[in-house]
Chain A
């Protein structure tokens, strides 16, 4: 029986036990539970591994195929290396929630039916909210609450869609759908909310940077990439996703260019990168779907690496704004080196992981002769180097010296960063093992002379643009308003306005109505009450007289009425 459980359960159970353990036990559990889950993925046979009948539906508790194994593998790897990085973290709530969160993500990818997906989906929402809350600052409390609201809303939309879909098809099976009924649209919208799609994009850059130095590393990996997974399985080739993805790509770049908080820059670039994947899913060819899946795999590694290097700076200095940082390469060379590797990988620089994965998405657009999508993807690739590839390392580790000379982070954090930096280069230089894991056979050669040369041109000239335009990029102590302004400022303001204006009218109207109703009741009681004219009990003889009168009336009418 143990052989057939979802790999996610190892992590979820580990996370639930973790708070009961002493500090050393907690550290062991942080590594052991994901290692067990990770190993378990590779012992599961192909297909539906375990299913039960429940309320007349077949629930496929565990189902494996190439796609779920790919995502399960990267989630497991992320949980292990993220756990290693987070070993110096003493906050028990965060350590436990991180395990449950990662387990939830693994649960989603191995669930064969929509109900299983939903249950693990909600578990992730709860666990990730707890991670955001775990620093216990007022900012994290408020941001976590906003985060929870959005995700609970997304969960309701998703559940409504799932219910509709099950009613319509009679099956809870999670297979490819087309967005052609309200139910499938609701499912698509529920998925997209977690992917960070417009208009609810703001939950991500709002909440993620409020996590602790280690918490944000976990947050970056699971929610959005689980959404990419469910979109890959549920809605491949849905054309609207191309445009949703392109919006996310450019939104991420533009907002990251304006941002001052180093981890919020990286949060915006998550949306940018997920945009590439969503776009690939929308293109929907085997090339593009392979691109989206492999890019998700590579992205989890380099994005975690970037946030680990940012987290190390935060851990050693307590500072998070670019305008306070700079010149840290002197005393944090390993952290700077790993940050730069991550930055090159996210920019799809040749010989890093992004180069061999993202190019499959752009190639997919070219194969389909989507000129506009291809042009925008190329422009965006240049923009990624601009907003994340150079901006992040430049403002954190170089630029104008901050005068601070913090030491390197503790050994487990350095080791985790080196592991992921090594993986970024390994995948970039030798992509075949990753290609072998992809859902479709790979007929793509990324290292052609033309591809390397054009990519180097694209990236290096965007680097030139960065340094020429540096005066325009001067960091300021500002934030940039986003859609969340609508529910953080406009919504409450409208509510307050209504309370001031419509409120009294409403209260007044209500009391007038109440008085009216009271009056009506009083009149009715007077006329129909025990002593009212119409409510009195009449003596029997009066009734007999009345009946006789009616009979008389009837007879008169009967004879008088002209026969027709």
Chain B
């Protein structure tokens, strides 16, 4: 359906070859289209800063909010922050490893 290589960095326009259920082919990007601020390089930098500040605030909020841990381990400072982060890293890496063994081309079943 697409002629664009996933992973290439050049601006792309995905080719729609079949009429969608709506019966209208989607329009495509005009060459002179104006981009919203948050997709520009500068905007993305600003978003990262904002995100970083929010992250810090959620951890610092522990100093003013009274936590009531159940198990002990969940009372460590910033437990939910680093636990959430690390478990996500672990899940992504596990998925990556599993993918190496179990990934197939998406036309794998089409032959049979």
Where the two chains meet, the residues of A that have a C-beta atom closer than 8 Å to any C-beta of B are 88, 212-213, 250, 253-254, 257-258, 260-261, 314-319, 321, 323-325, 330-331, 366, 369, 371, 374-375, 378-379, 381-383, 386, 400-407, 409-410, 449-450, 453-466, 469, 472-482, 488-489, 492
Indicate if the CB atoms of B92 and A458 lie closer than 8 Å: no
Question: Is B46 in the interface zone, CB < 8 Å from A?
Answer: no
Given contacts A316-B26, A450-B67, A488-B109, contact A402 B1 (CB under 8 A): no
Report chain B residues within 8 Å CB of A258.
95, 98-99, 102-103
Indicate if the CB atoms of A454 and B67 lie closer than 8 Å: yes
Indicate if the CB atoms of B88 and A466 lie closer than 8 Å: yes
Given contacts A314-B20, A386-B92, contact A378 B80 (CB under 8 A): yes
Given contacts A472-B92, A480-B98, contact A315 B20 (CB under 8 A): yes
Indicate if the CB atoms of B80 and A402 lie closer than 8 Å: no
Report chain A residues within 8 Å CB of B39.
401
**Closest residue of A by beta carbon distance from B110:** A139
Please measure, in the bound complex, the distance between the C-alpha atom of A273 and the C-alpha atom of B28, giving whole angstroms: 36
**Closest residue of A by beta carbon distance from B78:** A457
Question: Is B42 in the interface zone, CB < 8 Å from A?
Answer: no
Given contacts A403-B12, A478-B106, contact A318 B6 (CB under 8 A): no
Task: Beyond the given A462-B84, A477-B106, please list 10 additional residue pairs across the A-B interface where CB-CB is below 8 A.
Answer: A253-B95, A258-B95, A324-B4, A405-B26, A407-B24, A410-B22, A449-B61, A449-B65, A457-B81, A480-B102
Question: Is B83 in the interface zone, CB < 8 Å from A?
Answer: yes
**Closest residue of A by beta carbon distance from B102:** A481
**Closest residue of B by beta carbon distance from A250:** B91
**Closest residue of A by beta carbon distance from B18:** A318
Question: How many interface contacts (CB-CB < 8 Å) are there between A and B?
Answer: 214
**Closest residue of B by beta carbon distance from A312:** B22
Indicate if the CB atoms of B6 and A474 lie closer than 8 Å: yes
**Closest residue of B by beta carbon distance from A258:** B99
Report chain A residues within 8 Å CB of B49.
none
Report chain B residues within 8 Å CB of A382.
83-85, 87-88
Indicate if the CB atoms of B1 and A324 lie closer than 8 Å: yes
Given contacts A316-B22, A383-B88, contact A404 B78 (CB under 8 A): no
Shortest CB-to-CB span from A390 to chain B, Å, is 10
**Closest residue of A by beta carbon distance from B82:** A461
In B9-30, the 8 Å CB interface with A consists of 11-14, 16, 18-22, 24, 26-30
B84, B93, B99 interface centre (most CB from chain A within 10 Å) = B84
**Closest residue of A by beta carbon distance from B109:** A488
Shortest CB-to-CB span from B92 to chain A, Å, is 5
Report chain B residues within 8 Å CB of A319.
1-2, 14, 16, 20
Given contacts A317-B26, A492-B112, contact A386 B66 (CB under 8 A): no
Indicate if the CB atoms of B21 and A403 lie closer than 8 Å: no
Report chain B residues within 8 Å CB of A386.
88, 91-92
Please measure, in the bound complex, the distance between the C-alpha atom of A383 and the C-alpha atom of B85, giving whole angstroms: 9
Indicate if the CB atoms of B55 and A461 lie closer than 8 Å: yes
**Closest residue of A by beta carbon distance from B6:** A323
Please measure, in the bound complex, the distance between the C-alpha atom of A212 and the C-alpha atom of B21, giving whole angstroms: 9
Shortest CB-to-CB span from A368 to chain B, Å, is 10
Please measure, in the bound complex, the distance between the C-alpha atom of A366 and the C-alpha atom of B73, giving whole angstroms: 12
Where the two chains meet, the residues of B that have a C-beta atom closer than 8 Å to any C-beta of A are 1-2, 4, 6-7, 11-14, 16, 18-22, 24, 26-30, 36, 39, 51, 54-55, 58-59, 61-62, 65-68, 70-71, 73-74, 78-85, 87-96, 98-99, 102-106, 108-109, 112
**Closest residue of A by beta carbon distance from B99:** A258
Indicate if the CB atoms of A379 and B80 lie closer than 8 Å: no
Shortest CB-to-CB span from B96 to chain A, Å, is 6
> Can you list 15 pairs linking A and B with CB atoms under 8 Å apart?
A254-B98, A319-B20, A323-B2, A378-B80, A379-B91, A382-B83, A405-B26, A407-B24, A409-B22, A458-B84, A461-B82, A462-B84, A465-B84, A469-B92, A477-B105
**Closest residue of B by beta carbon distance from A452:** B65
Please measure, in the bound complex, the distance between the C-alpha atom of A374 and the C-alpha atom of B13, giving whole angstroms: 46
Please measure, in the bound complex, the distance between the C-alpha atom of A88 and the C-alpha atom of B20, giving whole angstroms: 13
Indicate if the CB atoms of B89 and A465 lie closer than 8 Å: yes
Indicate if the CB atoms of B20 and A317 lie closer than 8 Å: yes
Report chain A residues within 8 Å CB of B83.
378-379, 382, 458
**Closest residue of B by beta carbon distance from A480:** B102
Given contacts A404-B26, A474-B6, contact A366 B85 (CB under 8 A): no
Indicate if the CB atoms of A478 and B105 lie closer than 8 Å: yes
Top 7 A-B pairs, shortest CB-CB distance: A403-B13, A318-B20, A406-B26, A465-B88, A379-B87, A382-B84, A457-B80
Indicate if the CB atoms of A478 and B55 lie closer than 8 Å: no
**Closest residue of B by beta carbon distance from A403:** B13
**Closest residue of B by beta carbon distance from A410:** B22
Please measure, in the bound complex, the distance between the C-alpha atom of A472 and the C-alpha atom of B97, giving whole angstroms: 11
Shortest CB-to-CB span from B40 to chain A, Å, is 12
Report chain B residues within 8 Å CB of A469.
88-89, 92
- From B79, B88, B109, contact of A462 by CB (8 A): B88
Report chain B residues within 8 Å CB of A371.
71, 73
Indicate if the CB atoms of A449 and B28 lie closer than 8 Å: no
Report chain A residues within 8 Å CB of B96.
472
Please measure, in the bound complex, the distance between the C-alpha atom of A460 and the C-alpha atom of B11, giving whole angstroms: 30
Shortest CB-to-CB span from A10 to chain B, Å, is 29
Report chain B residues within 8 Å CB of A317.
16, 20, 26
Indicate if the CB atoms of B13 and A402 lie closer than 8 Å: yes
Indicate if the CB atoms of B22 and A315 lie closer than 8 Å: yes
Please measure, in the bound complex, the distance between the C-alpha atom of A478 and the C-alpha atom of B98, giving whole angstroms: 13
Indicate if the CB atoms of B91 and A401 lie closer than 8 Å: no
